[in-house]
A and B are shown apart, each in its own frame.
Chain A
Amino acid sequence: MNATQTLIALWTLVLKEIKRFTRIWPQTLLPPSITMAMYFIIFGNLIGSRIGDMGGFSYMDFIVPGLIMMSVITNSYSNVASSFFSNKFQRSIEEMMVSPMPNWVILSGFVFGGMARGLGVGLIVTVVSLFFTRLTMEHPLLTVLVVVLTSALFSIGGFINALLANKFDDISIVPTFILTPLTYLGGVFYSISMLPDFWQGVSMLNPILYMVNVFRYGFLGVSDIPVVWALAAIFAFIIVLFLAALMMLERGKGIRS
């Protein structure tokens, strides 16, 4: 395929993915908006008013970046995991496999589709948060960069999950038993400076902590961990996981007998 044909193929796949999650918007776009509005009301307003300041900011201002990031992570991941696995299940993945599209285009198409949903939901949640607080952004470029990279990283993660999955249960195990606990323990609702030293050290092993903190730094200008380290870690994870996913795709893991 020449460069133009490759771009057309990539765009076709991305557009198909966007059409998919917008077609089923009551399942994909609406629930996170409602859930996050509940978080803002209950944790931000009702409970948050009794908690007081967190890291020098109101509790609502503290949790908003974390909740936006949580939405981006879960939606990026689950979009690619469910879409790619559905393609495997319905065998419509064969449409792509018999075509001349290179594997990196297939992988990128699904990843961009996941990013579109993750970032779209992130934007919706941001708009919802404006009903509860006034958002200010200390470092807008960094904020956008980190949310885009995080979305890409978890979209790739969702792709690998779907590639290895044999049944629908397999694509819910990782989000339920790994992603959600790591997100909740990743400093969305609290600053790790509140934890004893030992648990602070344990928390530093949680990759989501870095993403939430850099994102929060973009909004509030404060972070529990060094921003450069966090960005480097996200970049490294993206490269490693992308190459791993591509290698599995080349070998036909989970899709070719």
Chain B
Amino acid sequence: MAEPALSIRGLTKVYGNGFQALKGIDLDVQQGDFFALLGPNGAGKSTTLGVVCSLVQKTAGKVSIFGIDVDKDFAKAKYQLGVVPQEFNFNQFEKVLDIVLAQAGYYGMTSREALPRAKQLLTDLGLWEKRNGSARMLSGGMKRRLMIARALMHRPRLLILDEPTAGVDIELRRSMWEYMRRINQDEGTTIILTTHYLEEAESLCRNVAIINNGEIVRNTSVRELLAELDTETFLIDLAEPVAEVPQIEGFELHQLEPTQLSLLVHRGQRLNDVFNALSEQGIQVVSMRNRANRLEEMFVSMVEASGPGAIDQRVNIPSTDRSPAEHRENQA
């Protein structure tokens, strides 16, 4: 069997203030996988990825990238790795093209190699027209795409995406998903994704690990995880208001609005029974949808079950973009 794209053993991180962010985690991500690392804020996701990218110093444990121990061959391991961080981390005053070309230079790529690669990536990500503009003039979505282009310049085999679509509008988010799927499927790039949009993880990822309080709570395939879901909650929109909650044997219904009900369905129960019962009571259903994303329900239940960690589960978390203190470049 091929070496995992990422192998973590006994990873521990204790910060200077004594806070233990990681408690000896083990994790394998196989080559070619599209892998989600999920967890509430402060669970240890970013610390884990920070150690992998060498932005955070580990206290103990071992990290290997495609079988290369980062402690033994630091440079070789880094060639395999591309990183799209959560916060914008490029010089906002530099030109878009300069940012991606500089990144290629840091990996030792000649300008003859780097320029066509930059053109291809910036074109694919809709930024080629902006190449000569200052990065600070880009919209939030464009800045995120710039970081993806930058991370892909040296053709990494493992791409780490730390909340890549935070603060990006739905249309753009979906086009970014398509792009990520393409580089995973067509180019075989292994992708590790952290996200607060659990719909994103469900849609893109094959495998998932849930981390909470510095420990891996669950590490399995998305399909298996969802198969364990015992209940689902649906929202039912009605044609006419109802005076009281309809009673249907075996089902739990609540009225949210005069024309909206919530329905809790356990595994094995049939929705047809609900529709038939409502129809018999003269209630017409206009539409029905999941109240929440399925993975989200599973995620919340797992994190709640895993212990006393505070859940700060914000599905549509806004981006926490770090802006330069001053709007003009004042760095003499």
**How many angstroms between the C-alpha atoms of A95 and B55 in the bound complex?**
10
Q: Which chain A residues (47-88) contact chain B, with CB distance < 8 Å?
A: 78, 82-83, 86-87
Q: Is the interface of A mostly helix, strand, loop or mixed?
A: helix
B91 & A98 in contact (Cβ 8 Å cutoff): no
B106 & A92 in contact (Cβ 8 Å cutoff): no
> Is B109 part of the binding interface, using a Cβ–Cβ cutoff of 8 Å?
yes
> Is B272 part of the binding interface, using a Cβ–Cβ cutoff of 8 Å?
no
Q: Which residues of A contact B262 (CB under 8 A)?
A: none
Nearest Cβ on chain A to B234's Cβ, whole angstroms: 43
Q: Which residue of B lies closest to A24 (CB)?
A: B329
Q: Which chain B residues (72-101) contact chain A, with CB distance < 8 Å?
A: 74-76, 78-79, 81, 83, 85, 87-94, 98, 101
Q: Is the interface of B mostly helix, strand, loop or mixed?
A: loop
Contact of B89 among A91, A99, A168, A257 (CB under 8 A): A91
Interface size class of A (residues with CB under 8 A): 35 or more
Are A23 and B93 also in contact (CB < 8 A) when A91-B322, A95-B106, A102-B75 are? yes
The listed residue with most A CB atoms (<10 A of its CB), out of B15, B87, B107, is B107
Q: Which residues of B contact A94 (CB under 8 A)?
A: 53, 55, 83, 85, 89
> Is A2 part of the binding interface, using a Cβ–Cβ cutoff of 8 Å?
yes
> Is A199 part of the binding interface, using a Cβ–Cβ cutoff of 8 Å?
no
Q: Which residues of A contact B105 (CB under 8 A)?
A: 8-9, 11-13
Q: Which residue of B lies closest to A256 (CB)?
A: B57
Nearest Cβ on chain A to B152's Cβ, whole angstroms: 13
**How many angstroms between the C-alpha atoms of A11 and B329 in the bound complex?**
23
> Is B103 part of the binding interface, using a Cβ–Cβ cutoff of 8 Å?
yes
> Is A203 part of the binding interface, using a Cβ–Cβ cutoff of 8 Å?
no
**How many angstroms between the C-alpha atoms of A24 and B94 in the bound complex?**
11
B324 & A8 in contact (Cβ 8 Å cutoff): no
**How many angstroms between the C-alpha atoms of A100 and B70 in the bound complex?**
11
**Contact flags B49-63 to A (C-beta < 8 A → 1, else 0):** 010011111000000
Q: Which residue of A lies closest to B73 (CB)?
A: A100
Total B residues in contact with A, Cβ cutoff 8 Å = 42
Q: Which residues of A contact B330 (CB under 8 A)?
A: 24, 27
Nearest Cβ on chain A to B56's Cβ, whole angstroms: 5
The listed residue with most A CB atoms (<10 A of its CB), out of B78, B88, B105, is B105
Nearest Cβ on chain A to B122's Cβ, whole angstroms: 17
B331 & A83 in contact (Cβ 8 Å cutoff): yes
Nearest Cβ on chain A to B29's Cβ, whole angstroms: 17
- A-B CB pair tally, cutoff 8 Å: 111
**How many angstroms between the C-alpha atoms of A95 and B107 in the bound complex?**
10
> Is A96 part of the binding interface, using a Cβ–Cβ cutoff of 8 Å?
yes
Q: Which residues of B contact A9 (CB under 8 A)?
A: 105-108
**How many angstroms between the C-alpha atoms of A31 and B332 in the bound complex?**
10
A92 & B57 in contact (Cβ 8 Å cutoff): no
A99 & B106 in contact (Cβ 8 Å cutoff): yes
Nearest Cβ on chain B to A158's Cβ, whole angstroms: 12
Q: Which residue of A lies closest to B109 (CB)?
A: A8
Are A78 and B332 also in contact (CB < 8 A) when A4-B108, A92-B90, A95-B103 are? yes
**Contact flags A141-160 to B (C-beta < 8 A → 1, else 0):** 00000000000000000000
**Contact flags A241-254 to B (C-beta < 8 A → 1, else 0):** 00000000000100
Q: A9-B105, A87-B91, A94-B55 are in contact. List 20 more A-B contacts (CB 8 A).
A: A2-B108, A5-B108, A8-B105, A16-B94, A20-B91, A23-B93, A90-B90, A91-B85, A91-B87, A92-B91, A95-B103, A97-B53, A98-B55, A98-B78, A99-B107, A100-B76, A100-B108, A256-B54, A257-B50, A257-B55
22 residue pairs A–B, Cβ–Cβ below 8 Å? A9-B108, A12-B106, A19-B98, A20-B91, A24-B329, A24-B331, A31-B332, A90-B91, A91-B85, A91-B87, A92-B90, A94-B85, A95-B106, A97-B54, A98-B55, A98-B78, A98-B83, A99-B78, A100-B79, A100-B108, A168-B325, A257-B57
B: residues with CB less than 8 A from A are: 15-16, 50, 53-57, 74-76, 78-79, 81, 83, 85, 87-94, 98, 101-103, 105-110, 150, 322, 324-325, 329-332
Top 6 nearest A-B pairs (CB, nearest first) are A5-B108, A12-B105, A100-B75, A99-B106, A91-B89, A27-B332
A: residues with CB less than 8 A from B are: 1-2, 4-6, 8-9, 11-13, 16, 19-20, 23-24, 27-28, 31, 78, 82-83, 86-87, 89-92, 94-102, 168, 252, 256-257
